[in-house]
A and B are shown apart, each in its own frame.
Chain A
């Protein structure tokens, strides 16, 4: 990194903006604005700052529709919205995927549309923390807000998460280096342990690195649980870790005053998937017999948790919600986007604030190439190449306001700092327009003719 002199050439500062990058949702950013453009960002990490400042990089500015030659052609908003509405209204198995980088206000319009026509609504949890949610449904969810970690925690464990790279301010602002009310010396008052097969940047600044074998997570946590429950370990080495170290670690965890386990995709996506999280949750529950412990999944996008929370209060399920029968249905492996695509079920796909083109497995993307895809996004990406209609949205937290939920469930109102490009529209507006146009095209909603009470609900 070369030295960059501070930016002095700006018109005004907008304070206390919220970062629209990772699940930390840092709400202390100051934007330096010149000519309706953010020229510098104070307090943000490099990930957040570059996303906010480089917002015009590969920016989608004009609505586009793919013509018969397969070329995306710039069109006016009416044409693009009508085309998209036509695709949705004519479909019988539409999937609306994404939502994690937009506001809950926009999701509200999306769920109204989805319920009206009987779509599947799903978000990035299906490819990231879905296993965590599965485990939560199996084992429980002992969490705490990040301020609680800051003020009380004296032992921090990162497992399968390289916070230093993925959530750069997590350690500084919430968990490790910050001074807390009961941890006045900050870093010196905390023990930091990184559990990861890789000697990551987070491991480098930890007190302890537990480099268990790849796919050894389940065995390792199982061993800790056994020790916590007073059992003896028979093998000398478990998941690549000598048993003496496991005894020592278990003892240390028991003696912490307030411990927190942060886990990332390194834990959700190794061999045992949701079972890893399952056993980690149970370990935390066991630890509470001796001291106080909690955990928090390191959510990636700034509002991926928001979608799960939003859907849970709208319909009772967190993600992968299928409305085709007129009521919400959720079944892992059945109503999730990847499974649907691989089975070639969907006949229309709307992607909002996500990039399946870059992240989905090949088999899923192959089907996307064959069906109409509507993209609502601010940047060009591989999904644009798959899209038949492109609707340029605006940047939540910079160009328009909206609500997001931090990884620990704290809601934050992300305010608007600058105006959006003239030709773009707010995500919320776009989805509302689509909803209204679809309702005109398909006057009969996907509903029961009459209210039939569910005897189980009474």
Chain B
């Protein structure tokens, strides 16, 4: 089938197209530069056309999601929607059911979402959920930062074996890249402890968080993985964590990018939900925003990228592999606390959280997120996320866009809606920068695609997948700084969402449901090293894992229709 999207106003930062009125054509699932006269014309005159959204960090599928849904029926109840002839029923607000997750992303104009944390032992579960989510392409990031084997190798500075281990485990778990969460801290949580700062050692393993980060970063570049290491630094959410964040940033100084497959990206480390890592002070009493310091440092270090984890003032569910932090939250809020430790690999914690405009801490967190957005100079190095569902559900992205585009709206909120800490402890009221549509397209599409090393999406380049979103906003007829509500409304539901050339959303309604695909990285050239590592760890595995080796990998049964990214690791 051939299609032509006519007369849209295109924002495609990867091709430096900034609000040009032009046609976008696609054929057989791919963008093309011309079509025949038979092409079906979709009239999108004066509407915004962008590549479909790419969410670089969200928790959408996996064991902790399911525990969240299972133990929060109140959240599921909140979002119920009836089944129609096209759609299945939906449920959930902060942790939507799998079908709801796919539909809602599709309505927002998104096409690719990265599941940010997958414990390899339960990877089958994550893939079962990915298969249940419709409409999206979903890579999943296996957790390596607290893996016992990785910690042992990192202690011996044995980068080659770490690389082989990672290559093998990406195949075993059908994962995309290296995710590190509170390195050494989640292992310490095995004994009810945590690590503080990057130079603190994991109990027994005698290795510091910094050593693990550096070793994994080197292994990542040795393997030429398309994405860099993806790190959730230590001390998340603790007042006074700015030095830890900055030391984490400095840890990868001097590490060279791998050749080949990694050419597409610029960074050697992606810092996730930076908002939670930018607090100054000693306690919640004297906490202040550290955004300026963090952003200043970040702007100087051009080997880093980040996403924000913007707080949205909702009742949501926090869930992270940083389990000790979740217990700290439990001690603060006393709400129902869930924990899930995974043998030899990681841990996880979940707790409901209410971000309120009247709360000083929530206000501070909200402001820090926006400060980071406004203080980080290069939009190519920052991505829009809420760390769904940690700081808020992904359905709030349009609202965040409206805040970023309107200083007036932000000032109004600072003066009339949120807690007065925003004036006393943050810079937000003094920041006047406003994003334009081009910047928005960068932080929601082009930048995340580049950061992940995707060479088939995130742009409207001929030959790329036809992943396109059309929004009912006329950029020539709207003043985003004055019409924040219209901006939010416009981005809330796409006019068209096109995925792989299939029209999934038309006139703001889902008209077609498509099966999801998993994207995983297959490293080539390391097969012998992988086998050697597997042989070496086999006695340990047999003795100390509670499943047999044969039952550990994700069988093909669970990834029926994957997109395999072959990477030349040598």
The closest CB in chain A to the CB of B204 belongs to: A182
Is there contact, CB below 8 Å, between B557 and A27?
no
B509 lies within 8 A of chain A by Cβ? yes
Residues of A within 8 A of B190 (CB): 148, 152, 258, 292
Given A28-B548, A292-B192, A411-B122, do A144 and B339 touch, yes or no (CB 8 Å)?
yes
Is there contact, CB below 8 Å, between A150 and B550?
no
B132 lies within 8 A of chain A by Cβ? yes
Given A133-B70, A328-B89, A458-B395, do A294 and B339 touch, yes or no (CB 8 Å)?
yes
Is there contact, CB below 8 Å, between A141 and B67?
yes
Encode B375-394 as 1/0 by CB contact (under 8 A) with A.
Answer: 00000000000000000000
Given A179-B543, A457-B79, do A313 and B343 touch, yes or no (CB 8 Å)?
no
Is there contact, CB below 8 Å, between A139 and B551?
no
Is there contact, CB below 8 Å, between A150 and B343?
yes
Which chain A residues in 302-325 approach chain B with CB under 8 Å? 308-309, 312-318, 323, 325
B124 lies within 8 A of chain A by Cβ? yes
B72 lies within 8 A of chain A by Cβ? yes
Q: Give the size category of A's interface with B.
A: 35 or more
Is there contact, CB below 8 Å, between A145 and B343?
yes
Q: Select which of A115, A288, A309 is within 8 A of B89 by beta carbon.
A: A115
B288 lies within 8 A of chain A by Cβ? no
Kindly state the separation between the CA atoms of A452 and B90 in the bound complex, as whole angstroms.
11
Is there contact, CB below 8 Å, between A309 and B125?
yes
Is there contact, CB below 8 Å, between A313 and B129?
yes
Kindly state the separation between the CA atoms of A14 and B93 in the bound complex, as whole angstroms.
46
The closest CB in chain A to the CB of B192 belongs to: A292
Residues of A within 8 A of B305 (CB): none
B66 lies within 8 A of chain A by Cβ? yes
Residues of B within 8 A of A239 (CB): none
Residues of B within 8 A of A411 (CB): 122, 124-125, 128
Given A16-B548, A327-B91, A453-B81, do A318 and B124 touch, yes or no (CB 8 Å)?
no
Kindly state the separation between the CA atoms of A374 and B133 in the bound complex, as whole angstroms.
31
Is there contact, CB below 8 Å, between B82 and A325?
yes
The closest CB in chain B to the CB of A401 belongs to: B557
B65 lies within 8 A of chain A by Cβ? yes
Which chain B residues in 154-183 approach chain A with CB under 8 Å? none
Is there contact, CB below 8 Å, between B550 and A15?
yes
B76 lies within 8 A of chain A by Cβ? yes
Kindly state the separation between the CA atoms of A457 and B103 in the bound complex, as whole angstroms.
12
B96 lies within 8 A of chain A by Cβ? yes
Is there contact, CB below 8 Å, between A142 and B337?
yes
A429 lies within 8 A of chain B by Cβ? no
Q: Select which of B83, B85, B331, B395 is within 8 A of A115 by beta carbon.
A: B83
B336 lies within 8 A of chain A by Cβ? yes
Encode A133-152 as 1/0 by CB contact (under 8 A) with B.
Answer: 10011111111111110111
Given A317-B76, A452-B81, do A136 and B70 touch, yes or no (CB 8 Å)?
yes
A335 smallest CB distance to B (angstroms): 11
Q: Select which of A173, A292, A313 is within 8 A of B98 by beta carbon.
A: A313
Is there contact, CB below 8 Å, between A445 and B344?
no
A381 lies within 8 A of chain B by Cβ? no
Is there contact, CB below 8 Å, between A145 and B82?
no
Given A140-B71, A328-B76, A330-B73, do A317 and B91 touch, yes or no (CB 8 Å)?
yes
Looking at A48-56, A215-223, A402-410, A419-427, the stretch in contact with chain B turns out to be A402-410
Kindly state the separation between the CA atoms of A138 and B547 in the bound complex, as whole angstroms.
31
Q: Which of B72, B85, B189 has the most CB of A within 10 A?
A: B85
A199 lies within 8 A of chain B by Cβ? no
Residues of B within 8 A of A179 (CB): 543
Is there contact, CB below 8 Å, between A326 and B83?
yes
Residues of B within 8 A of A188 (CB): none
Q: Select which of A150, A173, A292, A401 is within 8 A of B191 by beta carbon.
A: A292
Which chain B residues in 78-130 approach chain A with CB under 8 Å? 78-93, 95-100, 104, 121-122, 124-125, 128-129
Is there contact, CB below 8 Å, between A18 and B551?
yes
Kindly state the separation between the CA atoms of A148 and B191 in the bound complex, as whole angstroms.
11
A344 lies within 8 A of chain B by Cβ? no
Which chain B residues in 203-236 approach chain A with CB under 8 Å? 204
Is there contact, CB below 8 Å, between B340 and A409?
yes
B193 smallest CB distance to A (angstroms): 8
A297 lies within 8 A of chain B by Cβ? no
Given A148-B341, A328-B91, A458-B395, do A313 and B192 touch, yes or no (CB 8 Å)?
no
A448 lies within 8 A of chain B by Cβ? yes
Is there contact, CB below 8 Å, between A151 and B544?
yes
Q: Which of B71, B72, B89, B125 has the most CB of A within 10 A?
A: B89
Q: Select which of B96, B124, B341 is within 8 A of A316 by beta carbon.
A: B96
B291 lies within 8 A of chain A by Cβ? no
Encode A288-302 as 1/0 by CB contact (under 8 A) with B.
Answer: 110110100000000
Is there contact, CB below 8 Å, between A142 and B93?
no
Residues of A within 8 A of B543 (CB): 179, 181
Residues of A within 8 A of B90 (CB): 327, 454, 457
Is there contact, CB below 8 Å, between B555 and A451?
no
Kindly state the separation between the CA atoms of A289 and B331 in the bound complex, as whole angstroms.
9
Q: Which of A15, A150, A317 has the most CB of B within 10 A?
A: A317
Given A330-B73, A405-B125, do A447 and B344 touch, yes or no (CB 8 Å)?
no
B176 smallest CB distance to A (angstroms): 20
Is there contact, CB below 8 Å, between A150 and B546?
yes
Residues of A within 8 A of B61 (CB): 313
Residues of A within 8 A of B327 (CB): 288
B248 lies within 8 A of chain A by Cβ? no
B69 lies within 8 A of chain A by Cβ? yes
A257 lies within 8 A of chain B by Cβ? yes
Is there contact, CB below 8 Å, between B339 and A147?
no
Given A16-B551, A27-B548, A413-B551, do A451 and B84 touch, yes or no (CB 8 Å)?
yes
B342 lies within 8 A of chain A by Cβ? yes
Is there contact, CB below 8 Å, between A326 and B82?
yes
Encode B10-52 as 1/0 by CB contact (under 8 A) with A.
Answer: 0000000000000000000000000000000000000000000
Q: Select which of A137, A289, A292 is within 8 A of B71 by beta carbon.
A: A137
Is there contact, CB below 8 Å, between A315 and B89?
yes
Q: Select which of A115, A140, A456 is within 8 A of B79 by beta carbon.
A: A456
Is there contact, CB below 8 Å, between A145 and B81?
no
The closest CB in chain A to the CB of B327 belongs to: A288
Q: Select which of A115, A148, A451, A452 is within 8 A of B343 by beta carbon.
A: A148
Kindly state the separation between the CA atoms of A315 and B77 in the bound complex, as whole angstroms.
10
B338 lies within 8 A of chain A by Cβ? yes
Which chain B residues in 291-324 approach chain A with CB under 8 Å? none
Kindly state the separation between the CA atoms of A285 and B337 in the bound complex, as whole angstroms.
8
Q: Select which of B88, B339, B492 is within 8 A of A143 by beta carbon.
A: B339
Q: Which of B90, B98, B546 has the most CB of A within 10 A?
A: B546
Residues of B within 8 A of A257 (CB): 191
Is there contact, CB below 8 Å, between B91 and A315?
yes
> What are 26 A-B residue pairs whose CB atoms fall within 8 Å in the complex?
A16-B550, A27-B551, A133-B70, A136-B70, A136-B71, A141-B67, A141-B336, A144-B339, A144-B343, A147-B544, A147-B545, A292-B191, A292-B192, A314-B98, A316-B69, A316-B76, A317-B76, A317-B91, A409-B63, A412-B551, A448-B83, A454-B81, A456-B79, A457-B81, A457-B90, A457-B104
Q: Which residues of B contact A (CB under 8 A)?
A: 61, 63, 65-67, 69-73, 75-93, 95-100, 104, 121-122, 124-125, 128-129, 132, 189-192, 204, 327, 330-331, 336-344, 350-351, 395, 492, 509-510, 543-548, 550-551, 555, 557-558
List 10 tightest A-B contacts by C-beta distance, closest first: A147-B343, A316-B76, A457-B79, A147-B546, A316-B91, A292-B192, A144-B341, A448-B82, A326-B82, A140-B336
Q: What 11 new A-B contacts, CB under 8 Å, besides A314-B99, A412-B551? A: A27-B548, A141-B339, A144-B341, A294-B341, A312-B97, A314-B132, A323-B89, A411-B128, A412-B124, A448-B83, A451-B84
